[in-house]
A = this chain, B = another copy of it.
Amino acid sequence: MKRERIEEIAELLDKRGKLTLEQLDDYFPRVSQMTLRRDLLLLEQEGRIIRVRGGAMSVKEVQKVSGEPYTKKTALHTDEKIKIAQKAARLIDENTSLFIDGGTTAMYLAKEIPDINVHIFTNGLAVAIELAQKKNVNLTILGGQVMKDNLSTASPVAQVYFENTNFELAIISASAFTPQNGFSCGSQVEADLLKTTRRKAKALYMMLDSSKIGKIMPYTFARLEDIDVLITDDNFPADLKDMFTQKNIVVM
Protein backbone atom coordinates (compact mmCIF):
# COMPACT_ATOMS: atom_id res chain seq x y z
CA MET A 1 0.00 0.00 0.00
CA LYS A 2 2.67 2.42 0.99
CA ARG A 3 5.18 0.92 -1.37
CA GLU A 4 2.69 0.86 -4.21
CA ARG A 5 1.99 4.51 -3.80
CA ILE A 6 5.66 5.32 -3.73
CA GLU A 7 6.27 3.37 -6.91
CA GLU A 8 3.38 5.15 -8.52
CA ILE A 9 4.84 8.48 -7.55
CA ALA A 10 8.20 7.49 -8.99
CA GLU A 11 6.59 6.42 -12.23
CA LEU A 12 4.58 9.59 -12.47
CA LEU A 13 7.66 11.63 -11.84
CA ASP A 14 9.60 9.81 -14.52
CA LYS A 15 6.84 10.60 -16.97
CA ARG A 16 6.28 14.19 -16.08
CA GLY A 17 9.84 15.03 -15.15
CA LYS A 18 8.80 17.41 -12.43
CA LEU A 19 5.81 17.75 -10.16
CA THR A 20 4.76 20.13 -7.46
CA LEU A 21 3.35 18.86 -4.22
CA GLU A 22 0.00 20.28 -5.18
CA GLN A 23 -0.03 18.29 -8.40
CA LEU A 24 0.88 15.17 -6.47
CA ASP A 25 -1.90 15.94 -4.04
CA ASP A 26 -4.31 16.00 -6.94
CA TYR A 27 -3.12 12.59 -8.05
CA PHE A 28 -3.36 11.14 -4.57
CA PRO A 29 -6.33 12.78 -2.88
CA ARG A 30 -6.60 10.01 -0.34
CA VAL A 31 -3.42 10.83 1.50
CA SER A 32 -2.17 14.01 3.07
CA GLN A 33 0.63 16.19 1.82
CA MET A 34 2.74 15.10 4.75
CA THR A 35 2.57 11.50 3.62
CA LEU A 36 3.53 12.48 0.14
CA ARG A 37 6.42 14.42 1.56
CA ARG A 38 7.59 11.40 3.42
CA ASP A 39 7.30 9.32 0.28
CA LEU A 40 9.38 11.82 -1.62
CA LEU A 41 11.97 11.76 1.12
CA LEU A 42 12.19 8.01 0.79
CA LEU A 43 12.51 8.18 -2.97
CA GLU A 44 15.22 10.76 -2.59
CA GLN A 45 17.13 8.47 -0.28
CA GLU A 46 16.84 5.76 -2.90
CA GLY A 47 18.42 8.17 -5.34
CA ARG A 48 15.57 8.12 -7.77
CA ILE A 49 14.32 11.65 -7.40
CA ILE A 50 15.55 15.03 -6.31
CA ARG A 51 13.41 17.06 -4.00
CA VAL A 52 13.21 20.69 -4.99
CA ARG A 53 11.34 23.57 -3.48
CA GLY A 54 7.68 22.99 -4.07
CA GLY A 55 7.95 19.40 -5.17
CA ALA A 56 10.37 16.97 -6.76
CA MET A 57 11.91 16.01 -10.05
CA SER A 58 12.91 12.74 -11.63
CA VAL A 59 16.59 11.90 -11.73
CA LYS A 60 16.08 10.23 -15.08
CA GLU A 61 14.70 13.43 -16.46
CA VAL A 62 17.76 15.35 -15.35
CA GLN A 63 20.04 12.70 -16.78
CA LYS A 64 18.51 13.03 -20.21
CA VAL A 65 19.51 16.44 -21.30
CA SER A 66 20.01 19.62 -19.40
CA GLY A 67 18.47 22.99 -20.05
CA GLU A 68 17.76 22.89 -23.73
CA PRO A 69 15.30 25.24 -25.40
CA TYR A 70 13.03 22.30 -25.97
CA THR A 71 12.12 21.73 -22.33
CA LYS A 72 11.11 25.31 -21.97
CA LYS A 73 8.44 24.93 -24.58
CA THR A 74 7.30 21.77 -22.91
CA ALA A 75 5.98 23.68 -19.93
CA LEU A 76 3.03 25.28 -21.73
CA HIS A 77 -0.42 23.71 -21.45
CA THR A 78 1.19 20.59 -20.04
CA ASP A 79 -1.86 19.18 -18.36
CA GLU A 80 -4.10 19.38 -21.40
CA LYS A 81 -1.43 17.84 -23.58
CA ILE A 82 -0.92 14.96 -21.21
CA LYS A 83 -4.60 14.24 -21.06
CA ILE A 84 -4.79 14.26 -24.84
CA ALA A 85 -1.76 12.02 -25.01
CA GLN A 86 -3.36 9.56 -22.61
CA LYS A 87 -6.48 9.40 -24.71
CA ALA A 88 -4.44 8.83 -27.85
CA ALA A 89 -2.31 6.14 -26.21
CA ARG A 90 -5.40 4.09 -25.51
CA LEU A 91 -6.15 3.98 -29.23
CA ILE A 92 -2.98 2.14 -30.11
CA ASP A 93 -3.33 -1.59 -30.68
CA GLU A 94 -0.64 -4.22 -30.35
CA ASN A 95 1.05 -5.54 -33.48
CA THR A 96 0.29 -2.52 -35.62
CA SER A 97 2.51 0.06 -37.20
CA LEU A 98 1.97 3.75 -36.85
CA PHE A 99 3.46 7.15 -37.39
CA ILE A 100 3.84 9.78 -34.69
CA ASP A 101 4.99 13.31 -35.39
CA GLY A 102 7.65 15.26 -33.55
CA GLY A 103 5.69 17.83 -31.57
CA THR A 104 5.46 18.28 -27.84
CA THR A 105 2.10 16.58 -27.57
CA ALA A 106 3.62 13.67 -29.45
CA MET A 107 6.38 13.49 -26.87
CA TYR A 108 3.85 13.09 -24.12
CA LEU A 109 2.14 10.46 -26.23
CA ALA A 110 5.45 8.63 -26.49
CA LYS A 111 5.68 8.61 -22.72
CA GLU A 112 2.20 7.21 -22.36
CA ILE A 113 2.52 4.44 -24.91
CA PRO A 114 2.73 1.10 -23.11
CA ASP A 115 5.63 -1.21 -23.81
CA ILE A 116 3.79 -3.33 -26.34
CA ASN A 117 4.79 -4.83 -29.65
CA VAL A 118 4.26 -2.04 -32.16
CA HIS A 119 6.30 -0.51 -34.92
CA ILE A 120 6.52 3.23 -34.65
CA PHE A 121 7.85 5.72 -37.15
CA THR A 122 8.58 9.24 -36.04
CA ASN A 123 10.34 12.38 -37.13
CA GLY A 124 10.82 13.60 -33.58
CA LEU A 125 14.12 13.29 -31.78
CA ALA A 126 12.59 13.68 -28.35
CA VAL A 127 9.87 11.22 -29.25
CA ALA A 128 12.47 8.74 -30.41
CA ILE A 129 14.53 9.03 -27.22
CA GLU A 130 11.42 8.40 -25.19
CA LEU A 131 10.36 5.38 -27.23
CA ALA A 132 13.84 3.91 -27.34
CA GLN A 133 13.43 3.07 -23.68
CA LYS A 134 10.61 0.64 -24.41
CA LYS A 135 11.92 -2.81 -25.12
CA ASN A 136 9.06 -4.07 -27.26
CA VAL A 137 8.59 -1.02 -29.38
CA ASN A 138 10.23 -1.30 -32.75
CA LEU A 139 11.36 2.19 -33.62
CA THR A 140 12.35 3.92 -36.83
CA ILE A 141 13.30 7.55 -37.00
CA LEU A 142 12.98 9.54 -40.19
CA GLY A 143 16.24 11.19 -41.05
CA GLY A 144 16.81 14.69 -42.21
CA GLN A 145 17.85 18.09 -41.13
CA VAL A 146 17.12 18.69 -37.49
CA MET A 147 15.08 21.75 -36.59
CA LYS A 148 16.48 23.06 -33.35
CA ASP A 149 13.36 24.71 -32.07
CA ASN A 150 11.27 21.56 -31.82
CA LEU A 151 13.82 18.78 -32.23
CA SER A 152 12.09 17.26 -35.19
CA THR A 153 13.47 16.31 -38.55
CA ALA A 154 12.22 17.05 -41.99
CA SER A 155 13.82 17.21 -45.39
CA PRO A 156 12.72 16.57 -48.94
CA VAL A 157 15.25 13.77 -49.25
CA ALA A 158 13.89 11.99 -46.20
CA GLN A 159 10.50 12.09 -47.88
CA VAL A 160 11.75 9.59 -50.42
CA TYR A 161 12.65 7.22 -47.66
CA PHE A 162 9.33 7.86 -46.03
CA GLU A 163 7.51 6.88 -49.21
CA ASN A 164 8.85 3.35 -48.87
CA THR A 165 7.45 2.77 -45.43
CA ASN A 166 4.02 1.51 -44.50
CA PHE A 167 1.86 2.12 -41.49
CA GLU A 168 -1.77 1.80 -40.65
CA LEU A 169 -2.29 4.73 -38.42
CA ALA A 170 -0.85 8.20 -38.10
CA ILE A 171 -1.24 10.22 -34.94
CA ILE A 172 -0.18 13.77 -35.54
CA SER A 173 -0.72 17.20 -34.09
CA ALA A 174 -1.08 20.66 -35.53
CA SER A 175 0.21 24.04 -34.44
CA ALA A 176 -2.99 25.80 -35.44
CA PHE A 177 -6.53 25.20 -36.57
CA THR A 178 -9.45 27.14 -37.96
CA PRO A 179 -12.40 25.66 -39.86
CA GLN A 180 -11.53 27.80 -42.87
CA ASN A 181 -7.80 27.15 -42.97
CA GLY A 182 -7.77 23.63 -41.57
CA PHE A 183 -4.76 22.25 -39.71
CA SER A 184 -1.57 24.19 -40.25
CA CYS A 185 2.02 24.36 -39.12
CA GLY A 186 5.00 26.67 -39.39
CA SER A 187 7.27 24.97 -41.87
CA GLN A 188 6.90 23.95 -45.47
CA VAL A 189 8.85 20.70 -45.25
CA GLU A 190 6.97 19.67 -42.14
CA ALA A 191 3.70 20.34 -43.91
CA ASP A 192 4.85 18.20 -46.83
CA LEU A 193 5.77 15.40 -44.48
CA LEU A 194 2.43 15.51 -42.76
CA LYS A 195 0.62 15.59 -46.07
CA THR A 196 2.41 12.41 -47.04
CA THR A 197 1.36 10.97 -43.74
CA ARG A 198 -2.22 11.67 -44.66
CA ARG A 199 -1.83 9.83 -47.93
CA LYS A 200 -0.04 6.80 -46.54
CA ALA A 201 -2.01 6.08 -43.40
CA LYS A 202 -5.26 4.20 -43.43
CA ALA A 203 -6.46 6.39 -40.61
CA LEU A 204 -5.40 9.80 -39.42
CA TYR A 205 -5.82 10.80 -35.79
CA MET A 206 -5.28 14.42 -34.92
CA MET A 207 -4.24 15.63 -31.47
CA LEU A 208 -5.23 19.24 -30.93
CA ASP A 209 -5.33 21.05 -27.63
CA SER A 210 -7.86 23.82 -27.54
CA SER A 211 -5.24 26.55 -27.25
CA LYS A 212 -4.49 26.00 -30.94
CA ILE A 213 -7.98 26.85 -32.05
CA GLY A 214 -8.44 30.07 -33.95
CA LYS A 215 -4.76 30.33 -34.76
CA ILE A 216 -3.39 30.22 -38.28
CA MET A 217 0.09 29.11 -39.30
CA PRO A 218 1.59 29.55 -42.79
CA TYR A 219 1.24 26.02 -44.15
CA THR A 220 -1.96 24.01 -44.15
CA PHE A 221 -1.42 20.28 -44.34
CA ALA A 222 -4.91 18.93 -43.72
CA ARG A 223 -8.46 20.14 -43.87
CA LEU A 224 -11.19 19.46 -41.37
CA GLU A 225 -12.60 16.52 -43.30
CA ASP A 226 -9.22 14.89 -43.88
CA ILE A 227 -8.99 13.38 -40.43
CA ASP A 228 -10.71 10.38 -38.90
CA VAL A 229 -10.46 11.09 -35.21
CA LEU A 230 -9.90 14.30 -33.32
CA ILE A 231 -8.38 13.98 -29.88
CA THR A 232 -8.73 17.11 -27.80
CA ASP A 233 -9.35 18.42 -24.30
CA ASP A 234 -12.43 19.46 -22.35
CA ASN A 235 -12.24 23.08 -23.41
CA PHE A 236 -12.96 22.24 -27.01
CA PRO A 237 -15.89 24.44 -28.16
CA ALA A 238 -19.20 22.61 -28.64
CA ASP A 239 -20.02 24.28 -31.96
CA LEU A 240 -16.73 23.16 -33.44
CA LYS A 241 -17.32 19.69 -32.14
CA ASP A 242 -20.59 19.58 -34.06
CA MET A 243 -18.78 20.59 -37.23
CA PHE A 244 -16.56 17.54 -36.88
CA THR A 245 -19.21 15.05 -35.88
CA GLN A 246 -21.37 16.14 -38.80
CA LYS A 247 -18.57 14.94 -41.07
CA ASN A 248 -18.50 11.63 -39.23
CA ILE A 249 -15.28 12.49 -37.46
CA VAL A 250 -15.05 11.12 -33.95
CA VAL A 251 -14.22 13.79 -31.40
CA MET A 252 -12.89 12.55 -28.11
Contact = CB atoms under 8 A, between A and B. Distances in A.
Given A125-B141, A161-B160, A66 B47 contact: yes
A130 B65 contact: yes
A132 interface: yes
A67 B52 contact: no
Query: Which of the listed residues A131, A133, A146, A148 has the most CB atoms from chain B within 10 Å of its own CB?
Result: A146
A146 B151 contact: no
B129 A129 contact: yes
A125 to B, nearest CB: 6
Nearest to A149: B132
Q: How large is the interface on A (under 10, 10 to 19, 20 to 34, 35 or more residues)?
A: 35 or more
A65 B129 contact: yes
A245 interface: no
Interface in A154-186: 155, 157-158, 160-161, 164
Among A57, A65, A135, A151: residue with most chain B CB under 10 A: A65
Interface string A24-49: 00000000000000000000011110
B146 A139 contact: yes
A132 B68 contact: yes
Contacts of A135: 148
When all copies of this chain in the complex are counted, the total is: 2
Contact of A62 (B51, B53, B63, B155): B63
B140 A155 contact: yes
B68 A57 contact: no
Contact of A145 (B48, B63, B140, B157): B140
A53 B50 contact: no
Nearest to A131: B146
Across the A-B interface, give the 9 residue pairs with the lowest CB-CB distance, nearest first: A47-B67, A143-B143, A139-B146, A47-B66, A62-B62, A142-B143, A59-B66, A140-B145, A68-B133
5 contacts: A52-B53, A68-B133, A128-B146, A132-B146, A141-B153
Interface of A: 45-48, 50-53, 57, 59-60, 62-71, 125-126, 128-133, 135, 138-146, 148, 151, 153, 155, 157-158, 160-161, 164
Given A46-B67, A64-B129, 13 more contacts: A47-B68, A48-B66, A52-B53, A59-B65, A63-B65, A63-B66, A63-B67, A132-B148, A138-B145, A140-B155, A141-B146, A142-B143, A157-B161
